[in-house]
Structure 1
């Protein structure tokens, strides 16, 4: 028997040096270093100069700690926004920035002092600021390196920092715009206050956690009333903040609430005034059933006066405590009567102010009562659970005089905490600087009305963001601008010591701005600020403000010192888009909106793109204490940055989403399939020369023309996804096309032509022409997602054509779309699925070695086409039935292409096609 020849050396197998194994952690740093050395970002700006602008403005992350997984997702999305716009041929610069002022940095520097047994207040102000500046700069540099490693392409050499003198000068200039237009006032209102950090906090700096508090019922003896039975009875209030009792000034009732004067079943000589629907709960707390004595409506209580339980201390405590009508009083819990401390509650403040009761400022910034306060002076801190406990000093004193009716440390509820220190905060009335929300601006509308109007105009992705920020702006109080700290932009105002008015002098203001631009924030200190008044005003008549600005004002004004300053000539105002997490509806999105509406009459952005939060694999919030955090730096060291990017762009980031080891392994599998698609394309296009091999579309087989139509449809999907910022759809469409249209269909079918056809034959040339078109499109689509891999792919084929990231999308011809052809191939692909499904059991049972040995019968009405080629079978015939049947062919196997064909004399011989190719 003659041994058959081995024809493997005659098969045109793909050739490429592009490895199957990615080795991303090892390769990516080198690619990133090359981009930096070649100044790729500057190259891109030069290439897009003069094109239509797309203006993205970067929200500043805080310069405090390593990049976490939320940062990684956030910056991948931002990078995707800019890269896809550049891909469309637009000029889309990306100037990154950092928030450098504020409490977190100051707190960290103070921590270092505490460890060294140093007192921050003994450190000179400028020295302290310098340490804060150095701390912030350290973390800017660290985070910048980490974000570069993630593949984010930005102007890393020229970022904006809130602590740059130019930025600080513009922040001061924006503040002084508010002052000159009359949009500032100093007032005493209760604001969120951190006794631990000794400063006011913005709502965005507060988070809510469940705690267990002491709840107490306290009796206020009624001393005056138009209802005789009430005199001598006790109005009962309930509170979970016992520490506010020493600052009580009144009791509130609900005008429409039903009340009852009642007594214990075991009558002790006292009568109590409580809400009807809360009698039973109150009785349970004091351990006795309550018997109604008299029915009253809330409005009947007008003119009633009680006295403070500690009235015997005299002074403030001996003053009458009026019962006042409050629409905010509910019967959800408590007693239906609410004690009023205008220093420590917004409703309390407004109601008492309306009745001539003013704050007393009894609680100091550290949470202790003033030394001269008549009850518990010098004691605290008021947020200490022991201080408020049933056996603490407040309850002990109330118990001793018989006014503490019930006390238990078991009330569970949500309570505000500082976002940074995690300590409980309080409402505290202090003199602060405010921007009024409801004062008409120069153009007639109020700041609230202007902001709400802009919220209606701006586009939101996802749409639900509109209602979220809208409801916050509709209900927010006046904007508190002042903070009682050291590390921040000073409130560069002078206040007249007699009138309390602040100085409005454009000439003085211009001098202040110029000095801050030259010297930074150190140009203004309480000791040196008077220099700006010399020769014009008597410094003894003016007091410089010692407060700093809310850091949300710093970042909220960033549109002014980044987009509108001329420092970055590629940038312009306003921004097309702002991109941040959903928490920024109450943070940066809102402060930017308010700042810009107040100074420019419109929002600084036209669209807001919002992402959710990253949870662990089980959907739990990540926490170091739970040990469920995912460190993006370690992920990059293990998997590579492209894997993080692919994960970030495949999850639905508009909602809360998950990450974990198993999820990352799944993303890695998805990545490998994409990589193999490019590896196949590179191998199949080895040596391709379009001038010599290219085939016109009209000359191509149907399958190639169909695939060009599919590519055109993908292109439309990709472009629509860019327009709608639906990057999940963008990435899903790309991966589905590579996996389903190419690997599992087109490549599978056409590998026979690639391997075995005559290289000069039009069919093989047509296939390679389409592969070239696919390559050129797919590597561009993949470039914003897999920034390192796409560069490796591009450089493998075109080592001398620069970076793939300088490329832009080509317009694909509309003529490629052929709906009739697409409809027929959709039916053929469905039938192909049925055929493959019918072949599989025979392969498992060893009846067939592969589909090449199968003869298939399909329904008579099956779509037209080269079915044996499409199904990769020996033969396909049309039968009379409606199903698919499969049998083993009797034709022999070609020794080169392995197809079973009638013209092969015996196994191992060549078919006619292969014989002509080999013979040639």
Structure 2
């Protein structure tokens, strides 16, 4: 059969539009250029400008690297929605934007310009702008329904100024405070991290059961040891307290002619083929409260036992938890309750300083100290049991390095103070699909105060000055800083050129001894306020 004749019997559509061929990229460009030349997007906006609006705000992608499939999916889904709403007659301006601050850009520039650590901002700014332009040209190939000549970028001075004004509004509402407490800390990048910057991976650690000696007789027995549990042996030198659960049952046992105290439910942890624990007495944890013990490393320090009922689980460990207030949230809370003096013996880079009070580990990295402590306790016959465990552990989302909890001063937003209002507002929104409403409810309910300060250079400054190390948190000053940044950009804060202007404007508040704070805002705050900075206009 002649195939050509069969083809001729079919009623096929006739079109000048070519099938995909070697010239398809060129043809696509011609179509895009035609739309741009005829300003189709602008004409449709003009046609619908007096009609009801449909605004789909595009949260800014990060200006670092070429676009990937995630960008494609994100923008095409939005583009479909915007085009549909435009076809329904709605006024649909769609504005592209880029998130241009943050550690990934700063880190990359440090690799390129390692000798420019203190003068890195111009290089970061140039790099971010270049990356945004690269992504803008790539997005053009998706044929998005937008004006590519109009876009926003978070490093723009007007955007930065608006962000500072928002910060000032939060100050007026008493939502900003400086907290001194342990938070997730990246020793590699020497900065605080927020919850959104943390990823959890499986990590191997040494689960250690070690002895701490009571300084007094207990139920008539001398030299009684507490069987204390930790998974971070490097924190033991910073011990200040031991916690028990006062309502739980504990056992005083004879363990190969020495007396140990452990949780009754954890007796099986002691028993093995060579040793068996003989129970001498069962008692409640409250019997231990206030008892003093000898610090494992610092003989001049006497620790004592406190109530940890809020966080001790009877299903794990020995029910006796070593507390190092500088390195744990629950540890810190317990120490504050006891009105203890708490200092941080760990430098931002992860090395111990003189405050640790133990010469052997000063100027040593905490990871090195971890191995030292395990070896030393073994030599001193203070380890009851140890084993390697695998558990979920927080890591830096950028370089995947494990984090530590570290005591430091940071700036926070009081999420707790506005939580009721947030939860109420959730009910006033229509959610698609509807199960996302419950998901958002759970997220907000569990959300703690937001740590917004970062010890970096490339970002929007937290506009707080310090006089005699005391912060000046003043909304009028912040509004004036925003005014200056709108004309000069935020570099004026970091090069100090803004300070004489502030002294002249506020002579009663700012003097020659007043200095500018050097923390920047969490980059998630930059993108998080984009709805206000952009939609307001």
TM over 0.5: yes
Structure 1 residue 228 and structure 2 residue 219: aligned? yes
Deviations 1:18-52 (A, max 9, x none): 45834455532332233233333222222221111
Change (3 A) 1:379 1:280: farther
Cα pair 2:180 2:410 within 8 Å, conserved: yes
CA distance in 2, matches of 1:30, 1:306: 81
Secondary structure (helix, strand or coil) at the match of 2:135 reads helix
Deviations 1:144-173 (A, max 9, x none): 122221222223212111100011001111
Change (3 A) 1:404 1:58: same
Cα pair 1:530 1:539 within 8 Å, conserved: no
CA distance in 2, matches of 1:475, 1:510: 32
Cα pair 2:343 2:355 within 8 Å, conserved: no
Structure 1 residue 431 and structure 2 residue 409: aligned? yes
Structure 1 residue 332 and structure 2 residue 309: aligned? no
Change (3 A) 1:9 1:341: closer
CA distance in 2, matches of 1:26, 1:492: 50
TM-score (norm 1): 0.55
Residue in structure 2 matched with residue 273 of structure 1 by the alignment: 261
Structure 1 residue 381 and structure 2 residue 365: aligned? yes
Change (3 A) 1:533 1:503: farther
Residue in structure 1 matched with residue 277 of structure 2 by the alignment: 290
CA distance in 2, matches of 1:291, 1:11: 97
Residue in structure 2 matched with residue 43 of structure 1 by the alignment: 43
User: Which has the larger helix fraction?
Assistant: 1
CA distance in 2, matches of 1:9, 1:97: 50
Residue in structure 1 matched with residue 474 of structure 2 by the alignment: 504
Change (3 A) 1:325 1:413: closer
CA distance in 2, matches of 1:306, 1:12: 95
Deviations 1:163-195 (A, max 9, x none): 000110011111112223322211201111111
Deviations 1:286-310 (A, max 9, x none): 9633222210112222222222211
Cα pair 2:239 2:295 within 8 Å, conserved: yes
Residue in structure 2 matched with residue 617 of structure 1 by the alignment: none
CA distance in 1, matches of 2:223, 2:37: 85
Secondary structure (helix, strand or coil) at the match of 2:460 reads coil
Change (3 A) 1:287 1:204: farther
Cα pair 2:62 2:98 within 8 Å, conserved: yes
| Aligned residue-pair number | 527
Secondary structure (helix, strand or coil) at the match of 1:131 reads helix
Give 1:112 deviation, angstroms.
2.0
Deviations 1:841-861 (A, max 9, x none): xxxxxxxxxxxxxxxxxxxxx
CA distance in 2, matches of 1:202, 1:377: 29
Give 1:95 deviation, angstroms.
0.5
Cα pair 2:97 2:152 within 8 Å, conserved: yes
Deviations 1:117-146 (A, max 9, x none): x3454x43xxx1011111111211121122
Structure 1 residue 406 and structure 2 residue 376: aligned? no
Matching of residues 314-353 of structure 1 within 5 Å: 314=300, 318-353=301-336
CA distance in 2, matches of 1:379, 1:97: 45
CA distance in 2, matches of 1:557, 1:258: 51
Secondary structure (helix, strand or coil) at the match of 2:70 reads helix
Structure 1 residue 152 and structure 2 residue 144: aligned? yes
Is the deviation greater in 468-477 or in 334-343? 468-477
Residue in structure 1 matched with residue 291 of structure 2 by the alignment: 304
Cα pair 1:529 1:544 within 8 Å, conserved: no
CA distance in 1, matches of 2:57, 2:258: 66
Give 1:275 deviation, angstroms.
1.1
Give 1:61 deviation, angstroms.
0.9
Structure 1 residue 518 and structure 2 residue 487: aligned? yes
CA distance in 1, matches of 2:34, 2:383: 74
Residue in structure 1 matched with residue 503 of structure 2 by the alignment: 533
Change (3 A) 1:30 1:44: same
Output the aligned Cα RMSD: 2.5
Secondary structure (helix, strand or coil) at the match of 2:533 reads helix
Give 1:365 deviation, angstroms.
0.7
Deviations 1:794-834 (A, max 9, x none): xxxxxxxxxxxxxxxxxxxxxxxxxxxxxxxxxxxxxxxxx
Residue in structure 1 matched with residue 132 of structure 2 by the alignment: 140
**Quick one: higher RCO (CA 8 Å, sep 6+), 1 or 2?**
2
Deviations 1:658-689 (A, max 9, x none): xxxxxxxxxxxxxxxxxxxxxxxxxxxxxxxx
Matching of residues 723-802 of structure 1 within 5 Å: none
Residue in structure 2 matched with residue 209 of structure 1 by the alignment: 201
CA distance in 2, matches of 1:19, 1:36: 19
CA distance in 1, matches of 2:18, 2:478: 64
Give 1:242 deviation, angstroms.
1.3
Cα pair 1:221 1:306 within 8 Å, conserved: yes
Change (3 A) 1:184 1:12: closer
Change (3 A) 1:34 1:250: same
Residue in structure 1 matched with residue 54 of structure 2 by the alignment: 54
Change (3 A) 1:36 1:224: farther
Q: Mark the runs of 5 or more structure 1 residues left unpaired by the alignment.
A: 1-6, 439-445, 567-920
Residue in structure 1 matched with residue 157 of structure 2 by the alignment: 165
Change (3 A) 1:477 1:358: farther
Give 1:283 deviation, angstroms.
3.6
Cα pair 1:216 1:404 within 8 Å, conserved: yes
Cα pair 1:63 1:99 within 8 Å, conserved: yes
Cα pair 1:299 1:325 within 8 Å, conserved: no
Structure 1 residue 471 and structure 2 residue 442: aligned? yes
Secondary structure (helix, strand or coil) at the match of 1:524 reads helix
CA distance in 2, matches of 1:71, 1:10: 44
CA distance in 2, matches of 1:289, 1:52: 79
Change (3 A) 1:556 1:232: same
Residue in structure 2 matched with residue 554 of structure 1 by the alignment: 526
Cα pair 1:263 1:292 within 8 Å, conserved: yes
Residue in structure 1 matched with residue 517 of structure 2 by the alignment: 545
User: Which has the larger strand fraction?
Assistant: 2
CA distance in 1, matches of 2:143, 2:266: 61
Matching of residues 678-757 of structure 1 within 5 Å: none
Deviations 1:49-70 (A, max 9, x none): 1111011111111111121222
CA distance in 2, matches of 1:216, 1:528: 53
